[in-house]
Amino acid sequence: MSIFIGSIPNTEKDDLKLAKGILRGEEDLRGSIGSLRENLFDLLKQNENLVDISKESIFLFNRGRDSIYFYLKALELNEGDEVIVQAFTCVAVVAPILWNKLKPVYVDIDSKSFNMDLSLLEEKITKKTRAIVVQHTFGNLVDMKMVREIVDEANKERDEEDKIKIIEDSAHIFPSDFKGRYSILGKYSDMLLFSFSQDKSISSTQGAASIIWDENTLDTAKENYSELHKPSKKESIYNARYIKLWSLIKKYYFTNLIPFTNITIGRVLIILFRNLGLIRKQAKADTTEFAGIEKLSQVQAVLLNNQLKKVSKINARREKIVQSYDKNLKENFRFKTENGLLLRYPILLDNRREIKKRLLEKEIIAGNWYSSPVHPLASEELVEADYKLGSCPIAEKVGKNILNLPTNVEVTEEDAKEIVEIINNFAKPLNI
Ligand SMILES: Cc1ncc(COP(=O)(O)O)c(C=O)c1O
């Protein structure tokens, strides 16, 4: 079977059936947002550090970027104030900073963890720093305690309204329970966010949740949230239609339309559906332009409730596949982490193109997150994101050489072995 690392990789037959039912108007959507909030609340409460969480501090959005924009807005900052963020991220993280007329300040990454290099954080903090976005890249947890210590030290001298806030970006990880290792989520931050967009752990095509426990901001946030628009019917239906169309694309992705070329039915469908505006790329260069933010729709809530029911199964498979890579990949390709719940398994290569091609021949589509310090912006577009080329050399180097192996629910252990064989036999490791 073909493997797709992105485009709702964890959507299964029951999700497709549900999406079709929604499109036919057969699903009762009423109450779905309330039950989603309830379900998230029950899950989050399992976290020993979040027992005091209230349902009113959970905010549901159309997209993860909306949640970052929303929180920064609620902080009521001044134009030009600074928000620290790691390079080697998605434009969806940087865009909401720009939309608020704030300045992103980039920190380079650690080449082993792909997370922010915390030894460089302190020197980036200035009088104008108001927030830091800390991202658990691929689900590899950051030492949030250390982030908190650095921020607390900087906050010592500051008045209440100038204190730096920590935005914890958990877009790449949604644990089955919030216990043990994952109870750290939210423990040291002021706001925690999850994305449920098309390439994420669990997905409603688009969707996001954030939890705000920064008391000073919560009242403003609640007031602002009540004024937010719901998505239009057309926009909410988009999420169900995307599932139906992608199931069709995947079915024919490798079916040749013209023999001896790489023109396939699936690829032609992608172009067609994109041109008709029926499917979209989730992150593009024009994401830096503000186009409004929205709450999560009832349609998304129905889809997400179904995915939540299966989160343990999806995560168990993910862990198994990560273990298989760990066990079978040659030492210098292994990703050293204690966290087995990886959205994608990253490896650094000197011959990425060749390996991608070899995997494609086996109908396996690997990923290239993040090919750019602000993915997917090309070098000449990075100025739009206020990123200066050369300022984060590790992020730039990693971007050129990283390959992501799939860990989603459709990957079997045999598939993982086949992938490993290609890597072990043909890949050239890169050491930074
Ligand atoms: C680390 C990270 N945070 C946030 C987001 C935002 O996701 P969304 O597409 O829901 O806005 C992304 C998107 O890929 C991401 O990679």
- Measured distance CA(1)–CA(254) in Å, rounded: 11
Per-residue model confidence (pLDDT) at position 173 = 97
* Minimum CA distance residue for ligand 1 atom 7: 64
Which one of 59, 71, 142, 197 would you pick to mutate in the ligand 1 pocket, going by the greatest count of ligand atoms within 8 A of its CB? 197
Per-residue model confidence (pLDDT) at position 209 = 98
Per-residue model confidence (pLDDT) at position 1 = 77
- Tokens 């024919």 appear where? 252
- Measured distance CA(125)–CA(132) in Å, rounded: 9
Q: Which atom of ligand 1 is nearest to the CA of 199?
A: 14
Per-residue model confidence (pLDDT) at position 261 = 86
- Measured distance CA(272)–CA(290) in Å, rounded: 26
Q: Note down pLDDT in tens along the chain; length 432 residues.
A: 799 999 999 999 999 999 999 999 999 999 999 999 999 999 999 888 888 889 999 999 999 999 999 999 999 999 999 999 999 999 999 999 999 999 999 999 999 999 999 999 999 999 999 999 999 999 999 999 999 999 999 999 899 999 999 999 999 999 999 999 999 999 999 999 999 999 999 999 999 999 998 888 999 999 999 999 989 999 999 999 999 999 999 999 999 998 888 899 999 999 999 999 999 998 888 899 999 999 999 999 999 999 999 999 999 999 999 999 999 999 999 999 999 999 999 999 999 999 999 999 999 999 999 999 999 999 999 999 999 999 999 999 999 999 999 999 999 999 999 999 999 999 999 988
* Minimum CA distance residue for ligand 1 atom 14: 90
Q: What is the pLDDT of residues 342-360, one digit of tens each?
A: 999 999 999 999 999 999 9
Per-residue model confidence (pLDDT) at position 51 = 82
Per-residue model confidence (pLDDT) at position 44 = 93
Per-residue model confidence (pLDDT) at position 283 = 86
* Minimum CA distance residue for ligand 1 atom 10: 64
Which one of 5, 63, 90 would you pick to mutate in the ligand 1 pocket, going by the greatest count of ligand atoms within 8 A of its CB? 90
Residues with CB under 6 A from ligand 1: 63-65, 89-90, 92-93, 135, 169, 171-172, 195, 197, 208, 282-283
Q: What is the pLDDT of residues 13-65, one digit of tens each?
A: 999 999 999 999 999 999 999 999 999 999 999 888 888 889 999 999 999 99
DSSP labels for 248-274?
HHHHHTT-BSSTTSS-BHHHHHHHHHH
Please indicate, yes or no, whether the overall pTM of this predicted structure exceeds 0.95: yes
Tokens matching residue 292: 């409004």
- Measured distance CA(193)–CA(172) in Å, rounded: 10
Q: What is the pLDDT of residues 322-338, one digit of tens each?
A: 999 999 999 999 999 99
Q: Which atom of ligand 1 is nearest to the CA of 208?
A: 10
In 10 A of CB 367, how many CB atoms?
A: 22
179: Cα separation from own chain's centroid = 21
Q: Measure 134 CA to ligand 1 centroid, in angstroms.
A: 12
Percent pLDDT > 70 in the chain is: 100
Q: Shortest CA distance to 148 belongs to which of 166, 136, 127, 124?
A: 166
Q: What is the pLDDT of residues 204-233, one digit of tens each?
A: 999 999 999 888 899 999 999 999 998 999
Contacts 24+ apart (CB under 8 A), 320-329: 320/413, 321/345, 321/406, 321/407, 321/411, 321/413, 321/416, 322/407, 324/413, 324/416, 324/417, 324/420, 325/405, 325/407, 325/416, 325/419, 325/420, 328/416, 328/417, 328/420, 328/424, 329/420, 329/423, 329/424
Return mean pLDDT, the chain.
96
Q: Measure 325 CA to ligand 1 centroid, in angstroms.
A: 25
Which residues, 6 or more positions from 41, have their beta carbon under 8 angstroms from its beta carbon? Answer: 53, 55, 58
Domains, the chain, with CATH or none: 28-226 (3.40.640.10)
368: Cα separation from own chain's centroid = 14
CB 145 within 8 Å of CB 188: yes
